[in-house]
């Protein structure tokens, strides 16, 4: 069933990460992503890794959920890793030189780091944003952060209302797609076999009703909203006001310090760790 697919899964909870202001999470999320891209050495990655584990522990989201979040991109990761390994030309002697295949150390290193970056990126951003922040508060956060733009005539509020409605109706439409598909299957429609053209044609009985229904919903919703006194041009107030707390300030500090730390660690010479083999390995710059 399509409805089994989770879309931007939010796991309600009361952890520190859940309680943070969405704006804090958006900004610290950006800091974290910047940190990922400024990390240049295995040591820096180790720090990123430990920090991510700490975030997971704080969020009280189970590791199996995190792993499930990575699963969809595994094939892409494997594919790009293979490309990286095969296509990167190094300066040193190839590790493998067989027929037209030449594998250099640089290729392997690049593949490993790239994989780690993507995984950290997915885990970090979904932890901060999707898993612990409800879509609606994320929208509120975005609206609030972008509100200065409304001064130069960009209708931020309208976009945020559109986002809200989209979020509200995604589950409804997913359910509906499922229903229509079942109804047409019950009339002998076949969505899964035949040539591409045939399959594309087979989608018509699914797409037409879906669009018709979506438009009908939009129309009814518009009337219902108007009946509840909604007007685009009118100033609205809000039930939920975003407020920064001490914990938000603290998070900013932690993430800013962490970012600075990553930059420093990435520049740290191996000699500072004693200069041994492990030290050189940890401080190997990509």
Smallest separation, CB 162 to another protein (Å): 11
Of the pair 97, 175, the CB lying nearest another protein is at 175
Of the pair 172, 271, the CB lying nearest another protein is at 172
Which residues contribute to the site for another protein (CB under 8 A)? 4, 12, 134-136, 164-165, 167-168, 171-172, 175-176, 179-180, 182-190, 204-205, 208-209, 212-213, 216-217, 220-221, 223-231, 234-241
Of the pair 152, 187, the CB lying nearest another protein is at 187
Smallest separation, CB 145 to another protein (Å): 19
244-277 burial: b if 16+ Cβ within 10 Å, else e = eeeebeebeeebeebbeebeebbebebeeeeeee
Residues 6+ apart with CB under 8 A from 231: none
Smallest separation, CB 147 to another protein (Å): 16
Smallest separation, CB 142 to another protein (Å): 14
Of the pair 30, 167, the CB lying nearest another protein is at 167
DSSP for 116-176 reads: HHHHHHHHHHIIIIIITS-HHHHHHHHHHHHGGGGGGT--HHHHHHHHHHHHHHHHHHHHH
Q: Containing H/E element for 109? A: helix 105-125
Of the pair 140, 248, the CB lying nearest another protein is at 140
Smallest separation, CB 21 to another protein (Å): 16
Yes or no: say if 140 and 240 are a contact pair by the CB < 8 Å rule. Answer: yes
Residues 6+ apart with CB under 8 A from 275: none
Smallest separation, CB 152 to another protein (Å): 23
Q: What is the dihedral of CA 156, 129, 120, 49, to 10 degrees?
A: 130
Q: How far is CA 87 from CA 6, 68, 103, in A?
A: 35, 30, 8
Of the pair 92, 235, the CB lying nearest another protein is at 235
């Amino acid at each position: 069933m399509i409805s089994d697919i989770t879309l931007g899964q939010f796991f309600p909870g009361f952890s520190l990460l859940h309680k943070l202001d969405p704006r804090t999470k958006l900004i610290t999320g950006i800091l974290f992503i910047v940190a990922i891209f400024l990390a240049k050495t295995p040591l820096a990655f180790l720090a990123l890794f430990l920090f991510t584990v700490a975030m997971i522990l704080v969020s009280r989201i189970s590791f199996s959920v995190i792993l499930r979040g990575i699963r969809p991109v595994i094939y892409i990761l494997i594919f790009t890793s293979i490309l990286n390994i095969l296509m990167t030309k190094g300066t040193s002697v190839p590790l493998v030189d067989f027929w037209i295949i030449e594998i250099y150390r640089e290729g392997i290193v690049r593949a490993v780091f790239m994989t780690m970056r993507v995984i950290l990126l997915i885990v970090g951003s979904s932890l901060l944003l999707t898993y612990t922040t409800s879509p609606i508060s994320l929208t509120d956060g975005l609206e609030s952060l972008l509100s200065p733009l409304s001064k130069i005539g960009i209708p931020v509020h309208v976009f945020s209302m559109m986002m809200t409605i989209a979020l509200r109706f995604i589950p409804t439409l997913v359910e509906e797609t499922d229903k229509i598909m079942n109804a047409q299957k019950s009339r002998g429609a076949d969505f899964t076999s035949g040539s591409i053209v045939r399959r594309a044609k087979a989608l018509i009985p699914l797409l037409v009703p879906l669009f018709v229904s979506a438009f009908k919903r939009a129309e009814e919703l518009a009337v219902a909203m108007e009946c509840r006194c909604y007007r685009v041009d009118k100033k609205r107030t809000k039930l939920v006001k975003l407020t920064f707390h001490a914990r938000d300030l603290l998070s900013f500090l932690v993430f800013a310090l962490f970012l600075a730390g990553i930059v420093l660690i990435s520049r740290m010479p191996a000699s500072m760790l004693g200069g041994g083999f492990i030290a050189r390995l940890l401080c190997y710059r990509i």
